[in-house]
Amino acid sequence: MIVANKNKIKDMAENLSESESGVGRSLWKDARIRFIQNKAATISLFVLVAIIFFSFIGPYFAVWSYEQIDWNAMGSAARVGMPSIESGHYFGTDDLGRDLYSRVIQGTQISLMVGVLGATVAVIVGTLYGATSGYLGGKTDQIMMRIVDILMSIPYMFVLILLLVVFGRSIGMLFIGIGLLSWLDMSRIVRGQTLNLKNKEFIEAAKVTGVNDFKIITRHIVPNLLGIVAVYATLLVPGIILAESFISFLGLGVQEPSTSWGALIKEGAGTISYDTEWQLLFPLAFFVVSLFCFYFIGDGLRDALDPKER
């Protein structure tokens, strides 16, 4: 007969678990390891950081400011405004003789800022709204989600353009317009995840213990939401940048002489038949590369945080 007393159970129980040290391997650590293993995502992260770094450091190497007009190149960009190190126009000039290098840097700053800040606002508002709606459930949830449905059915671009035309073009207006509508998706996603979590046994366990609702939301629900929020936030940024670029492409974006990728692309596309490809290629390159980076990072995050992989 196998004799097993309490001590033997204790011995066996712990010796068999990997009790090397007291350090735990949290899920975040696991995710970080998986993220790093994803080459596309890691490279994209470096590239993106490089671009951001460039937008900060770049101006120190600039010879011309973004609004300065080089009278030599004005009107004759095709002949004189080519990218060259000597003239100080590393990326060339635009049709008005303004330095494209500085303008691209300025565009990068503005576009990224709009994207990241817009996404941040959307994430905060969307998460709070969705988590509350999902957790409270019942009629409150129904009403809150119907409001989201109604807002979603509004033709986004139409409203945005209307706002910009009526209230004038400014970065502030851009934020309000984009921010007003981009939190909706996030709230739906967070609500879904909250509903999923709400029925999990560890939430039941917390309730039986007597933990109050607020602590349940902050200690148990939100940390388990962060994963999915991070993924969708990363995917939200390019969406917002695209929206802003489209607006600028239509000519309703940031006011001159400020510029953004969209505006630069618009100008560059307009002069493409005049042998001034650099005017389109440089801003386009930054735009495309950054967007791809965001998408790869978002993808990488999603794979890294996939619950099936634990």
Partner 1 sequence: MSLLEVSNLKVRFETADGIVNAVNNVNFSVEEGKILAIVGESGSGKSQTVFAMTGLLDHNGSATGSVKFEGEEILNLTNKKLNKIRAEKIAMIFQDPMTSLNPYVRVSNQMTEVLMHHQGLSKSDALRQSISMLDAVKIPDASNRIGMYPHEFSGGMRQRVMIAISLLCKPKLLIADEPTTALDVTVQAQIMQLLAELQKDFGMSIILISHDLGVVAGNSDDMLVMYGGEIMEIGKTESLYVKPTHPYTQGLMSAVPRLNDSEKRLVTIPGNPPNMMKPSEGCPFSPRCSYSNDKCSNVSPILSNVNNDDHFRACHVEIERIA
Partner 2 sequence: MSEQTILEVENLKVNFDVSSEGDMPWTKPKKLQAVNDISFTLNAGETLGIVGESGCGKSTLARAIVKMVPAESGKVLWLGNDLLSLSDSETRPYRKQIQMIFQDPLASLNPRMNIGEIIAEPLRTHYPKTSETDIKARVSDVMNKVGLLDNLVNRYPHEFSGGQCQRIGIARALILKPKLIICDEPVSALDVSIQAQVVNLLMDLQEEMELALIFIAHDLSVVKHISTKIMVLYLGNMVELANSNDIYQNPSHPYTQALISAVPIPDPNIEKNKELILIEGDLPSPINPPSGCVFRTRCHKVQDICSEEKPEFIESSKRHNVACHFHD
Site for partner 1, rule CB under 8 A: 1-4, 8-9, 11-13, 16-17, 34, 37, 309
Q: How far is the CB of 215 from partner 2 (least distance, A)?
A: 8
Q: DSSP code of 255?
A: P
Angle between helix 156-167 and helix 171-198 axes, rounded to 10 deg: 150
Q: CA distances (Å), 143 to each of 42, 140, 147, in order?
A: 41, 5, 6
Return the number of the residue (27 or 136) whose C-beta is nearest partner 2. Answer: 27
Instruction: Tell me the residue length of the chain.
Output: 310
Q: Please, which residue, 33 or 226, has the CB nearer to partner 1? A: 33
- Select from partner 2, partner 1, none the partner in contact with residue 217, using the beta carbon and a kind-dependent cut-off of 5 to 8 Å: none
Backbone angles phi, psi at 110, to 5 degrees: -65, -50
1 binds, among partner 2, partner 1, none (CB under 5 to 8 A by kind): partner 1
Alpha carbons 145 and 135: distance in angstroms, whole number: 13
Decide whether 26 or 153 has the Cβ nearer to partner 2. Answer: 26
* Residue 98 dihedral angles phi and psi, to the nearest 5°: -85, 145
CB 88 within 8 A of CB 100: no
Q: Which does 2 bind (CB under 5 to 8 A by kind): partner 1, partner 2, none?
A: partner 1
State in angstroms the smallest separation of the CB of 12 from partner 2. Answer: 9
In the complex with partner 2, the residue whose CB is nearer, 12 or 57, is 12
Q: Of partner 1, partner 2, none, which one sits near residue 147, judging by CB under 5 to 8 A according to partner kind?
A: none
Contact 187, 232 (CB under 8 A): no
Minimum gap (Å) between residue 226 Cβ and partner 2 = 8
Q: Report residue 85 as tokens.
A: 């190190």
Residues within the interface to partner 2 (CB under 8 A): 6, 9-10, 13-14, 17-19, 21-27, 200-202, 204-211, 215, 219-220, 223-224, 310
CA distance 175 to 183: 12
CA distance 82 to 269: 16
Give strand ranges (E) for 81-143. none
Q: Give the nearer residue to partner 1 in terms of CB position, either 11 or 275.
A: 11
- Cα separation, 71 vs 30, in Å, equals 57
Query: Which segments of 168-308 does DSSP mark as H helices, in order?
Result: 171-198, 201-209, 213-215, 222-249, 261-270, 278-304
Q: How far is the CB of 260 from partner 2 (least distance, A)?
A: 38
User: What type of residue sits at position 53?
Assistant: F
CB closer to partner 2, 72 vs 218: 218
**DSSP at 93:** B
CB 94, min distance to partner 1, A: 49
**Is the Cβ of residue 23 or residue 166 nearer to partner 2 in the bound state?**
23
State how far Cα 1 lies from the chain centre. Answer: 63
21 binds, among partner 1, partner 2, none (CB under 5 to 8 A by kind): partner 2
Q: Least distance in Å: CB of 237 to partner 1?
A: 28
In the list partner 2, partner 1, none, the entry touching 279 (Cβ below 5 to 8 angstroms by class) is none
Least distance from C-beta 160 to partner 1, angstroms? Answer: 41
202 touches which of partner 1, partner 2, none (CB within 5 to 8 A by kind)? Answer: partner 2
